[in-house]
């Protein structure tokens, strides 16, 4: 993910100098409080205060308001509009060019390569969730794909060990954390308090972050941005039609995206595929009749296939959605 902060040069936790480590952590926190994150935090705060003044009184409105779990909605909507403009002006044109220039097989190669680079973060989260089998799959995929093609071909996936996604937001959910209020992040798209915090942890967990910080090479320094943008462009190039359809058939695109984000995260947290009765995330309207929340989720499935359905592949981490 593109992010403006990087740990400072002086971070070397291995040298045993506690003072140095503490100072480095402080500098990381300082940097976190600068840049876009501070901007987001300020917006969310302003939004919450603005919204707190007006929780609806009408019982139905109130129920809808609470189910949406989006107290910063006025601010989120502004950021959403901003993201849509970024999508229109930058991301979509880039995606068109990318799609035009590269044949399908090359684009798959880009995606496979990027997925392979995410191995350490996915593995760490597999382990933190106690998913030993999935951790094994992650390691196996990395070794097979790296050894055979430097990560460009998904040889392991062809052999049946399919890619799966994990991040610290999901780990927090497995540990029992609530999603918290819905948040629309500038450039990064829909999120919530839990997942946005998870992004920061994932960033720190990622060895490439530290490589970028320890190496003066420009590609090392800009790797986070390059990866983030490439991933966004790649995902966008796979989703024109779906997003267009979605927007054309939606009376409230903002609410549609919020709903899809929530459902997609819920699927990812449950790691899909498991036949279990899981309540739909946070949206049980009490109807006191058989109309109410009927939906036991039944689906899930391989994360790798998300792009065949469309928008939700884009929901996680790109500008539009």
Partner 1 sequence: MFVVRRYTLVILLAGLVAVTAPEAGRASEEGAAAFVQDMAAKVVNSIADKSLSLAERQHRFRKLLHEGLDMEHVAGFVLGPYRRRVDPSDFAEFQEVLEEFIVQSYAWRFRDYAGQTLEVVSVRAAQRGREIVKSHILQPNGGPSLEVSWTLHKKAGDYKVIDIQVQGLSMMTTQRDEYVEFLRGENGRLQSLVEALRKQNKALAQQHSHQSS
Task: Check if the beta carbon of residue 211 is closer than 8 Å to that of residue 223.
Answer: yes
Applying CB under 8 A, the span of 108-116, 132-140, 163-171, 293-301 interacting with partner 1 comes to: 293-301
Applying CB under 8 A, the site for partner 1 has a residue count of: 49
294 lines the binding site for partner 1 (CB under 8 A): yes
Distance CA 8, CA 14 (A): 15
| Smallest gap from residue 68 Cβ to partner 1 (A) | 7
**Torsion sign, CA atoms 166, 168, 169, 173:** positive
Distance CA 29, CA 31 (A): 5
Which pair of structure tokens corresponds to residue 300?
Answer: 């899930």
Q: By C-beta, is 139 or 278 nearer to partner 1? A: 278
| Smallest gap from residue 155 Cβ to partner 1 (A) | 16
Distance CA 153, CA 78 (A): 40
HEC string for 130-144? CCHHHHHHHHHHHHH
Applying CB under 8 A, the span of 97-105, 106-114, 226-234, 297-305 interacting with partner 1 comes to: 297-305
255 lines the binding site for partner 1 (CB under 8 A): yes
| Smallest gap from residue 307 Cβ to partner 1 (A) | 9
Distances in whole angstroms, Cα of residue 79 to Cα of each of 72, 191, 193, 280, 321 = 11, 12, 16, 26, 11
248 lines the binding site for partner 1 (CB under 8 A): yes
308 lines the binding site for partner 1 (CB under 8 A): yes
260 lines the binding site for partner 1 (CB under 8 A): yes
Residue ranges in contact with partner 1 by CB under 8 A: 56, 58-61, 63-65, 67-68, 248-252, 254-256, 258-260, 263-264, 266-267, 272, 275, 277, 280, 283, 285-287, 290-291, 294-301, 304-306, 308-309, 312
């Amino acid at each position: 993910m593109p992010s403006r902060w990087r740990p400072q040069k002086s971070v070397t936790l291995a040298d045993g100098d506690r003072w140095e480590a503490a100072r480095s952590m402080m500098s990381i926190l300082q940097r976190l409080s600068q840049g876009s994150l501070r901007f987001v935090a300020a917006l969310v705060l302003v939004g919450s205060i603005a919204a707190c003044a007006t929780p609806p009184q009408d019982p139905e409105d109130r129920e809808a308001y609470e189910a949406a779990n989006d107290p910063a909605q006025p601010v989120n909507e502004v950021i959403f509009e901003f993201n849509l403009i970024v999508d229109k002006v930058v991301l979509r044109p880039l995606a068109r060019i990318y799609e035009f220039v590269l044949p399908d097989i090359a684009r798959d190669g880009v995606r496979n390569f990027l997925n392979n680079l995410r191995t350490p973060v996915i593995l760490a989260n597999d382990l933190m969730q106690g998913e030993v089998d999935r951790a094994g799959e992650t390691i196996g995929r990395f070794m097979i794909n790296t050894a055979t093609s430097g990560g460009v071909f998904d040889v392991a996936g062809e052999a049946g060990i399919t890619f799966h996604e994990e991040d610290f937001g999901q780990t927090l959910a497995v540990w029992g954390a609530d999603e918290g209020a819905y948040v629309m992040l500038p450039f990064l798209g829909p999120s919530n308090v839990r997942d946005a915090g998870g992004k920061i942890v994932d960033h720190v967990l990622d060895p490439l972050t530290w490589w970028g910080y320890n190496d003066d090479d420009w590609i090392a320094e800009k790797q986070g941005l390059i990866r983030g943008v490439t991933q966004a462009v790649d995902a966008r190039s796979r989703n024109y039609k779906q997003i267009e359809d979605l927007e054309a058939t939606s009376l409230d695109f903002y609410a549609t995206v919020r709903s899809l984000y929530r459902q997609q995260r819920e699927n990812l947290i449950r790691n899909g595929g498991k036949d279990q009765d899981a309540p739909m995330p946070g949206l049980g309207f009490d109807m006191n009749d058989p109309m109410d929340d009927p939906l036991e989720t039944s689906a899930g499935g391989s994360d790798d296939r998300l792009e065949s359905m469309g928008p939700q592949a884009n929901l996680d981490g790109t500008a539009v959605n």
